Chains A and B, each alone.
Chain A
């Protein structure tokens, strides 16, 4: 905590306008093929746009051996311009808050599934609120530098954890954005071994009606998991949802309709323990569902939320068919 207090005043909020780095540790990650995260302004409490709680929390995990300063960058942090979703007129303000220190991750209300209580636990390292700002359209804004030691060390991950919360504090427009963590403030330079994860993913589907555009998210299945319960919101019946793993070629799961939750349960196979699942979302053929924003979360049999990692733990699961040949008499 002492270190944090010393470093915190040194934080500079630097804006760097650089193109999105394809090789960076970005959120959404390259394997996820998700165009944008999205958070709506909470005014009016309208969830039918595809955001159930007007808030999104992500965590960044830096390997404990990484000691250099790093940066958290936000692409198109404002609400307004080309990549955001307009409702009547631009009136929305987004607040980004970055937390470290004890409890930023381990606090029981920190996971952001429901932005209530002390979901902003930990030590506030940086925060900034954006309204409509054309200078930030399709550009990166950089928070930091941060000292990795200012995160919350989590032994299970052997990582220092930082948290970023995006709250739509006013207005009703949709903010489309991305994150990245970087060694440099002016470019997305990845940090070896770093990762990002969330417990409730609110994102924008591709604006097309081509089934070859597949988005993925990768929940990690920890030991002891018997089954998972998936909850998805406001999918507008847009396409298909299948679960793939090293032992599962593709199990079709139900998708939600407009402004409703869909809950489904799936038993976990032994070979899936300790690996990531691949949730695949195929866009619907035919009539285009435009600007489809969706929410998904997963729990185990104890009701514990499971993390979605931007870079899937263990890699993207690949199903391997196994042929057995039995002579017939």
Chain B
């Protein structure tokens, strides 16, 4: 709650960093790093990627001789931009659009997909003391790009001095605006709202309802293109303070929110996630190191092979052909071919099919019966059939499962002779992973998921680890 109050009272409403791909079903699937290159010792937060750098907000000193503060003497937040260096890492930041606002906090921002509209949060009043009974509330604004300048600053039509609107994020298609507000009628504290763009006009705000919102605060909404909504909340069930939660939009309803696991969430405040294209890396904000908020990067440690063999089904079924006879199968013959498959089963015919119970070595023999004399010519031909399983990791599971139901996956049928297996690593195809011989998985959304099972050996004498991968598609149907 400490974090929530700070964010609200300081009016730095950080652009909600959406991150669709993190999932709470496994630990340790991401690595996080403190971005020291852009840390200031002040509060730095809410990074988003904009063209070739990071846009974030900070209340750092602007210069050694001048510090912008509000009329209460609190240092103001401003937008900063840290361009990527040649390695794609954020480098020394500079103030972003200094003339965008005067004597007010300007906070988390986001940019539309076309890069021409900036959505940001700021105090409704610039440089004016309104008195304690007239707090300077937050509103949402837009600015248009004009060359290298941002102009035409316009307040959002639903701003209201009676309550706060903050953390704007526009969906990639420009159709939906998500933000949070403490307007009356919500679930409590700050809730997430949504407006729909109807022929250029934004609809009335719609509370996302109790499926997403709670009596605690919900902040930093971010809708990923996959339909997963990420937000920050200090509701119970997280790691502590603000945590990142997510909910999926499925068939018009939001699924029950789930918290991301460590190391993204921690006992401190963790919020304002933003994932880059592909979702395997991005940024978020946390005060886990100190009282001040700092920006962290994350990258996926999830193992997923780009070329993974498709799981092959072991087949113990064979067709047996007496080739010489088959070439003359149209002739009238005075003989009958009788197969002994070596497992107690027999069949009659020039060709025959048989399925064995499993691997083994089978002595297949062919007897030929003279239909004229009734005599049996035993073992006219024989074939030693050795059946082995395919050398591969094996995923044993149902082919389909309903969303929300538990899917059990087992690797016990893995056949990798000579491999001293140390780990069974499962990639469920939705950026979640697990390890173990048998694992369970719950898919929340219908769809087709490609599951990879990656089996690793213990290091050999030379320290070499052998890895083998197979994959299998699972169809997840609607609940």
Q: Which A residues fall within an 8 A CB radius of B?
A: 211-212, 239-240, 242, 247-252, 269, 282, 319-329
Q: Whole-angstrom distance from the CB of A254 to the nearest CB of chain B?
A: 10
B318 touches A321 (CB 8 A): no
B353 touches A321 (CB 8 A): no
B372 contact set on A, CB distance < 8 A: 211, 239-240, 242, 282
Which of B317, B328, B370 is close to A248, meaning CB atoms less than 8 Å apart?
A: B328
Q: Whole-angstrom distance from the CB of B373 to the nearest CB of chain A?
A: 4
Q: What is the bound-complex CA distance between A328 and B330, given in angstroms?
A: 24
B335 touches A249 (CB 8 A): yes
A212 contact set on B, CB distance < 8 A: 373, 375
Which of B324, B332, B366 is close to A247, meaning CB atoms less than 8 Å apart?
A: B324
Q: Whole-angstrom distance from the CB of A1 to the nearest CB of chain B?
A: 50
Which of B325, B370, B375 is close to A321, meaning CB atoms less than 8 Å apart?
A: B325
State whether the Cβ of B97 lies closer than 8 Å to any Cβ in chain A.
Answer: no
The stretch of B47-55, B376-384, B421-429, B457-465 that contacts the partner chain: B376-384
B383 touches A325 (CB 8 A): yes
A249 touches B324 (CB 8 A): yes
B332 touches A323 (CB 8 A): no
Q: Whole-angstrom distance from the CB of A326 to the nearest CB of chain B?
A: 4
Q: What is the bound-complex CA distance between A282 and B380, given in angstroms?
A: 21
B333 contact set on A, CB distance < 8 A: 242, 249-252
B317 touches A321 (CB 8 A): no
Q: Whole-angstrom distance from the CB of A227 to the nearest CB of chain B?
A: 13
State whether the Cβ of B100 lies closer than 8 Å to any Cβ in chain A.
Answer: no
A329 contact set on B, CB distance < 8 A: 315
B320 touches A323 (CB 8 A): yes
Q: What is the bound-complex CA distance between A282 and B334, given in angstroms?
A: 11
State whether the Cβ of B438 lies closer than 8 Å to any Cβ in chain A.
Answer: no
How many inter-chain residue pairs (CB < 8 Å) link A and B?
89
Say yes or no: A325-B364 contact (C-beta < 8 A), given A250-B335, A252-B333.
Answer: yes
Say yes or no: A249-B373 contact (C-beta < 8 A), given A240-B334, A321-B366, A323-B383.
Answer: no
B328 touches A323 (CB 8 A): no
What residue in chain A is nearest B313 (Cβ atoms)? A329
Say yes or no: A322-B328 contact (C-beta < 8 A), given A240-B334, A250-B335, A328-B318.
Answer: no
State whether the Cβ of B198 lies closer than 8 Å to any Cβ in chain A.
Answer: no
A319 touches B334 (CB 8 A): no
List 8 A-B pairs, minimum CB-CB distance, nearest first.
A328-B317, A321-B381, A323-B383, A324-B321, A252-B332, A211-B373, A326-B319, A322-B323
Interchain residue pairs with CB less than 8 A apart (16): A211-B373, A242-B334, A242-B372, A248-B324, A250-B333, A250-B370, A252-B333, A269-B327, A321-B380, A323-B320, A323-B364, A323-B366, A323-B383, A325-B319, A326-B321, A327-B315
Q: Whole-angstrom distance from the CB of A252 to the nearest CB of chain B?
A: 4
B contacts with A: majority SS: strand
Instruction: Scan residues 339-389 of chain B and give those whose CB is less than 8 A from a CB of chain A.
Output: 353, 355, 364, 366, 368, 370, 372-375, 380-383, 385
Q: What is the bound-complex CA distance between A248 and B324, given in angstroms?
A: 7
Instruction: Scan residues 46-77 of chain B and give those whose CB is less than 8 A from a CB of chain A.
Output: none
Instruction: Scan residues 367-415 of chain B and give those whose CB is less than 8 A from a CB of chain A.
Output: 368, 370, 372-375, 380-383, 385
Q: Whole-angstrom distance from the CB of A226 to the nearest CB of chain B?
A: 16
Q: Whole-angstrom distance from the CB of B58 to the nearest CB of chain A?
A: 62
B353 contact set on A, CB distance < 8 A: 328
Which of B317, B321, B355 is close to A323, meaning CB atoms less than 8 Å apart?
A: B321
Q: What is the bound-complex CA distance between A322 and B366, given in angstroms?
A: 9
Q: What is the bound-complex CA distance between A183 and B359, given in angstroms?
A: 63
A319 contact set on B, CB distance < 8 A: 324
Q: What is the bound-complex CA distance between A322 and B381, given in angstroms?
A: 7
State whether the Cβ of B5 lies closer than 8 Å to any Cβ in chain A.
Answer: no
B307 contact set on A, CB distance < 8 A: none
Q: What is the bound-complex CA distance between A148 and B232, given in angstroms?
A: 114
B332 contact set on A, CB distance < 8 A: 251-252
Say yes or no: A322-B322 contact (C-beta < 8 A), given A211-B373, A329-B315.
Answer: yes
Residue among A212, A239, A282, A322 with the highest chain B CB neighbour number at 10 A: A322
Residue among A211, A323, A326, A329 with the highest chain B CB neighbour number at 10 A: A323
Q: Whole-angstrom distance from the CB of A182 to the nearest CB of chain B?
A: 35
A252 touches B366 (CB 8 A): no
Q: What is the bound-complex CA distance between A323 and B366, given in angstroms?
A: 8
B327 contact set on A, CB distance < 8 A: 247, 269
What residue in chain B is nearest A242 (Cβ atoms)? B334
Q: Whole-angstrom distance from the CB of B355 to the nearest CB of chain A?
A: 8
Q: What is the bound-complex CA distance between A23 and B394, given in angstroms?
A: 66
A326 contact set on B, CB distance < 8 A: 318-321
Residue among A239, A249, A252 with the highest chain B CB neighbour number at 10 A: A249
Give 1 or 0 for each of B296-332: 1 = CB within 8 Å of chain A CB.
0000000000000000000101111111110110011
What residue in chain A is nearest B365 (Cβ atoms)? A323
